[in-house]
């Protein structure tokens, strides 16, 4: 009798919850899987609510610390893992995730600037960042000043006033591709006690180590290379400084900049292949850029790794690789309509914004309209090409057939 009473191996333990109604039992099922599940990918944790064992633990928990969990907005195992890996990628100590690259830019601005301050933006800055400064920060009494991206440290120093609190850098500009003198500009900012933030989306943690050049804040649009899939939006802000990170975290909490667990898992997956994809797209882009440079319809190819491209010497000094992104300026004899028709005639290159994804993209830009006050030496139309993971020879053939049709 006694042996029959011993529970069978496959028998579920009896529990008082079996007396409860089905709807309650479905919410409070007692089964817990064994700990120690080993898989290559970490689990994807979806949570707004985080459950505390007791009130004292809840009260004692510090939402800013990665030692525990408080609420979905402040982090889950999934978001903590991505933040830690991105901090390594960027060469920083702390990272915070944002729902898009643009919201990461806004997080930096809203943390580091207050009424009466001035922020310096490069003339080739990511357009929506300038829009944010003009339409939003301006209305709150925060001024912005545009500097020429290719300016010298001395030229930048002349723009600095006691109100200047933040210098944004972008390396290179993501349409006109100028590589600034990062070392020189950062040195000037540091001499004046001004914080520096870099939009390092192009370098993606691979081509450039901005913290080693002395920047305070590294912002990434993970939407591009870190994701690699063209299927999500996310941004990050990385720092090496504990106090700066804490300030960013407070703004992040106050603005409620949460990210979705499934998107975080997609970026984690993308990170495995990031160096391989970056290298492949870099190699393809350079091959295609060199081919384009030889075409008689082309006035100039703007790619920081090509001699003659603006800031090429800065690229050589500071970078170890280049993104698969470059722009082509066509000869001035072609009209804007002809340049648009060239883009329409492309078959493998799709028409769309963004870059760092699997499919190559082309976008014509009207640079004169984008930069009314800037130095821009070209008359011809500009097309930005983002090189995907197709074979570069097929992409060259596509460009050739579109040029033959249109020019
Ligand atoms: C795409 C991009 C952003 C913005 O990222 P989103 O995730 O689209 O908001 C910011 N800076 C640069 C250089 C970008 O290319």
334 within 8 A of 310, measured Cβ to Cβ: no
| CATH of 73-271 among 3.30.365.10, 3.40.640.10, 3.20.20.70, 2.160.20.10 | 3.40.640.10
Pick the CATH number of 274-406 from 3.90.1150.10, 2.60.40.10, 3.40.50.300, 3.30.365.10: 3.90.1150.10
298-302 vs 195-199, strand pairing mode? unpaired
Give me ligand 1 centre to Cα 175, in Å: 12
Coil/strand/helix, residue 196: strand
| Extents of the domains making up the chain | 73-271, 274-406
User: Would you say the CATH fold of 274-406 matches that of 73-271?
Assistant: no
Please tell me the pTM assigned to this model.
Answer: 0.94
Pairing of strands 143-147, 164-170: unpaired
CA distance 365 to 382: 6
Mutate to test the pocket of ligand 1, among 99, 100, 102 (most ligand atoms within 8 A of CB): 102
Residue 366 · residue 176 · CB < 8 Å: no
Q: Which atom of ligand 1 is nearest to the CA of 235?
A: 7
Residues 94-109: tens digit of each pLDDT: 999 999 999 999 999 9
Give me ligand 1 centre to Cα 284, in Å: 22
Site to substitute for ligand 1 among 99, 126, 233, most atoms within 8 A of C-beta: 126
For the segment 111-150, what is each residue's pLDDT rounded down to a tens digit? 999 999 999 999 999 999 999 999 999 999 999 999 999 9
Note down pLDDT in tens along the chain; length 407 residues: 444 455 455 555 556 667 899 999 999 999 999 999 999 999 999 999 999 999 999 999 999 999 999 999 999 999 999 999 999 999 999 999 999 999 999 999 999 999 999 999 999 999 999 999 999 999 999 999 999 999 999 999 999 999 999 999 999 999 999 999 999 999 999 999 999 999 999 999 999 999 999 999 999 999 999 999 999 999 999 999 999 999 999 999 999 999 999 999 999 999 999 999 999 999 999 999 999 999 999 999 999 999 999 999 999 999 999 999 999 999 999 999 999 999 999 999 999 999 999 999 999 998 887 776 667 889 899 999 999 999 999 999 999 999 998 87
Handedness of CA 215, 221, 227, 229 (dihedral sign): negative
What pLDDT, on a 0 to 100 scale, did the predictor assign at position 11? 58
Q: What are the strands, taking DSSP E only, across 75-153?
A: 94-98, 118-122, 143-147
292-344: per-residue pLDDT in tens? 999 999 999 999 999 999 999 999 999 999 999 999 999 999 999 999 999 99
Asked whether the beta carbons of 42 and 269 are under 8 A apart, the reply is no
Find the 221 Cα to ligand 1 centroid distance in Å: 5
Q: Is residue 237 helix, strand or coil?
A: strand
Q: What is the number of the ligand 1 atom nearest to the C-alpha of 224? A: 1
Q: Tokens for 298?
A: 């082309």
């Amino acid at each position: 009798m006694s042996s029959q009473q011993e529970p069978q191996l496959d028998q579920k333990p009896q529990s008082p919850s079996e007396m409860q109604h089905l709807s309650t039992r479905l919410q409070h099922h007692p089964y817990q899987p064994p700990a120690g599940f080993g898989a290559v990918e970490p689990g994807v944790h979806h949570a707004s609510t985080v459950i505390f064992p007791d009130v004292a633990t809840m009260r004692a928990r510090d939402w800013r610390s990665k030692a525990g969990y408080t609420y979905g907005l402040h982090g889950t195992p999934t978001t903590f893992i991505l933040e830690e890996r991105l901090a390594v990628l960027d060469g920083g100590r702390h990272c915070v995730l944002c729902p898009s690259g643009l919201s990461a830019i806004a997080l930096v601005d809203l943390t580091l600037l207050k009424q009466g301050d001035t922020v310096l933006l490069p003339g080739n800055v990511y357009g929506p960042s300038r829009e944010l400064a003009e339409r939003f920060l301006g209305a709150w009494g925060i001024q912005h000043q545009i500097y020429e991206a290719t300016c010298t440290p001395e030229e930048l120093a002349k723009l600095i006033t006691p109100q200047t609190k933040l210098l944004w850098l972008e390396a290179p500009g993501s349409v006109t591709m100028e590589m600034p003198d990062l070392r020189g500009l950062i040195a000037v900012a540091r001499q004046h006690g001004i914080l520096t933030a870099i939009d390092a989306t192009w370098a993606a943690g691979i081509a450039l180590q901005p913290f080693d050049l002395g920047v305070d804040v590294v912002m990434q649009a993970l939407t591009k290379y870190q994701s690699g899939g063209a299927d999500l939006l996310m941004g990050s802000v990385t720092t090496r400084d504990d106090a700066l990170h804490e300030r960013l975290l407070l703004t992040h909490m106050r603005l409620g900049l949460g990210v979705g667990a499934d998107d975080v898992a997609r970026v984690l997956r993308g990170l495995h292949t990031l160096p391989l994809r970056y290298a492949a797209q870099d190699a393809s882009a350079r091959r295609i850029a060199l081919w384009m440079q030889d075409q008689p319809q082309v006035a100039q190819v703007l790619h920081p790794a090509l001699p003659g491209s603006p800031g090429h010497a800065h690229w050589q000094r500071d970078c170890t690789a280049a993104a698969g992104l470059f722009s082509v300026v066509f000869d001035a004899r072609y009209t804007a309509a002809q340049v648009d028709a060239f883009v329409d005639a492309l078959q493998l290159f799709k028409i769309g914004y963004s870059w760092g994804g699997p499919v190559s993209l082309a976008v014509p830009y009207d640079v004169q309209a984008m930069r009314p006050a800037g130095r821009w030496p070209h008359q011809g139309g500009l097309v930005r090409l983002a090189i995907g993971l197709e074979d570069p020879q097929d992409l060259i053939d596509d460009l050739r057939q579109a040029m033959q049709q249109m020019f």
